[in-house]
């Protein structure tokens, strides 16, 4: 990185969630030097959204949901939030 000897905020975010029996939603706005560097080509204010989605339960008695929006991946290390990264455990 080109940054040296400075104090800044790398990533700050707040996660807002809603859940009911038939609807769920999540909105995670963020800011900081990470967002400025890595999301620079994103259009407008959408570059400050790490996640923003809504889901609707399709059937009353089945756990089948339709989710749309900006979704985080549970299977890769592509999240801006490091606690969400997969952890590889290596035994020697």
Q: What is the mean pLDDT of residues 28-40?
A: 88
- Averaged pLDDT score across all residues of the chain: 85
Given a cut of 70, whether residue 71 has pLDDT beyond it is yes
Please report how many Cα atoms fall inside a 13 Å half-sphere around the Cα of residue 87, on the Cβ side: 5
Measure CA of the first residue to CA of the last residue in the chain; give whole Å.
32
The pLDDT, as a whole number, for residue 81 is 74
In a domain, 2, yes or no: no
Residue 58 belongs to what domain range? 12-84
Q: What's the CA gap between 17 and 51, in Å, rounded? A: 11
In a domain, 47, yes or no: yes
pTM (2 d.p.): 0.75
The pLDDT, as a whole number, for residue 90 is 59
Label residues 55-68 b or e (16+ Cβ within 10 Å = b).
bebeeeeeeeeeee
In a domain, 92, yes or no: no
Six-digit token string for 53: 């989605």
E strand spans, 1-92: 12-13, 16-19, 23-31, 49-57, 65-70
Total tally of structural domains belonging to the chain: 1
> Which runs of consecutive H residues, i.e. helices, occur in the chain?
33-38
């Amino acid at each position: 990185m080109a940054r040296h000897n400075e104090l800044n905020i790398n990533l700050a975010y707040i996660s807002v969630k809603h859940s009911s029996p038939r609807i769920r939603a999540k909105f995670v706005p963020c800011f900081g030097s990470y967002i400025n560097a890595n999301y620079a080509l994103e259009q407008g204010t959408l570059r400050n959204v790490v996640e923003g989605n809504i889901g609707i339960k399709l059937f009353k008695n089945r756990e089948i949901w339709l989710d749309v929006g900006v979704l985080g991946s549970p299977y890769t290390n592509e999240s801006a939030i490091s606690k969400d990264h997969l952890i590889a455990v290596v035994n020697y």
